[in-house]
Amino acid sequence: MALRFDRLVATRKTGAELFHRDGRPVGFDLLGFWQWSTSDLVTNATRGILAEFLVAQAVGAGASHVREEWAAFDLETASGIRVEVKSAAYLQAWAHAKPSTICFSIRPTRAWSPNTNQMEEEPSRHADVYVFALLAHKDKATIDPLNIAQWHFYVLPRAVLDARARSQHSITLKSLQALVGESLSFEELPEAIELAAVRNRELGG
């Protein structure tokens, strides 16, 4: 019989799962791995995943879903809105002389399917709505990514990004604010995402 190498679907873990040798525990668990690998919430890679988690929590998709590393977009709401989350921060984990200049990547990408291992021919944007999550705190002594008050959010329909005359690869904070105005709080995200999806459809997105 030929071996099958279909897609593996991740199951949600609790952290209590034990490392073992053929069923015999070896003295440490999955929570220990998480603590070891992702305790630095300010570093770029982990902060980006944390931003996705915050948006997922805001729209009710964080309690049961599992993040897909290579999905064409970051998450989907209960009403079927596809959401892409981009993150940035003024402060970095390393030593630096001044706050970082805020710029978000909006580059179109070629979607890859984990079911077929095939990639799209042409790059495009695959979400209906983009959420830009800025860890806006500027004091290193008190920065706390778990404090949702330190995050500012901006929401845009995909069609607005597609129609931009300027760069299709990135957007500065100043340009973003010119398009959407004031930032949103965590609590305001669900309604803003729904409204942005409606606008995206109206704009032909």
Q: Residue 2: what pLDDT?
A: 67
What is the helix (H) or strand (E) element at residue 182, kind and residue range?
A: none
**Across the chain, what does the average pLDDT equal?**
93
Q: Residue 205: what pLDDT?
A: 80
Is the pTM higher than 0.85? The answer reads yes
* 138-179 confidence digits (pLDDT tens): 999 999 999 999 999 999 999 999 998 777 899 999 999 999
Distance of CA 118 to the CA centre of its chain: 23
Percent helix, strand and coil across the chain, each to the nearest 5: 30, 25, 50
pLDDT exceeds 80 at position 23: yes
pLDDT exceeds 70 at position 81: yes
Name which residue leads in pLDDT, 10 or 85: 85
Taking a C-beta distance cutoff of 8 angstroms, is the pair 145, 41 a contact? yes
Q: Residue 1: what pLDDT?
A: 62
